[in-house]
Amino acid sequence: MLHGMAEQRKVALVTGGARRVGRAIVEKFAAAGYDIVFTYNRSESEARDLERAIEGMGRTVMPIKVDVKWAADAVHTIWRPVDEQFGGHLDVLVNNASIYRRASINDVRFLQELKDAVELHVAFPAELIRQFAPSLRQTRGHVINMIDLLAERPWPEYLPYCASKAALANLTLGLARELAPEVTVNGISPGVVQWPENTPQAEKEKYLKRVPLARAGTPQDVANLAHFLCTEGSYITGQIIRLDGGRSIT
């Protein structure tokens, strides 16, 4: 059902929103009264489960399956139904979709992995922001880009991931200037907020010894910060906030 302008609720779009950190962000904004658009790729069952949960909150929710081989095609897949359902209206854009694959410079697939990472972590957010910029300007909206501490401290075995996240950090700063004063653009750079599956206990303990707060973060920590930057923190722009329990100062 289309929303009339008088009853237009705020709308948040979260890429990679079906699981892990993306899901926590979706749930946070839905609980705060936003209608939700979220994208997913392979997480079909998680997406349907989340859709039911958000509907149970009384929100309009639109899951969109997207495989980001080419950013422009993916954005077109998103824009069309959002335009039909919400008239292109958007208040919050969270660029969270990510791939985290091992590839060092000597790997035969290194160049392809780098291209894939740049397409998803740089071109896709940039094209989404470009497409929705008129609406975000109109709503005085907010963009959150999910960065990573590895953008500053790259691991050689994950160079495509690290380098593309560093490019997204740079894009964040540039777009904060370009879209001001109507739109804020910020980045969140987490340390560990959810352990990768099958992380050995010894590796967890080694990492936490370098964290001043002596614990891992949670997806909810990220979601709370994202919501803050779109509400009480709306005078903040062009910042990349390290959400890492102090890991970056050790």
Cβ proximity of 156 and 206 under 8 Å: no
Cα dihedral sign for 113, 118, 124, 127? negative
Give the pLDDT confidence of 26-55 residue by residue, as tens digits: 999 999 999 999 999 999 999 999 999 999
What is the percent of the chain with per-residue pLDDT over 90, rounded to a whole number?
Answer: 94
Domain ranges of the chain: 10-249
Query: With respect to CATH, is domain 10-249 assigned 3.40.50.720?
Result: yes
| pTM attached to this predicted model | 0.95
Q: Which stretches of the chain are assigned E, i.e. beta strand?
A: 11-14, 35-40, 61-65, 92-95, 142-146, 184-190, 240-243
Give the pLDDT confidence of 187-233 residue by residue, as tens digits: 999 999 998 888 899 999 999 999 999 999 999 999 999 999 999 99
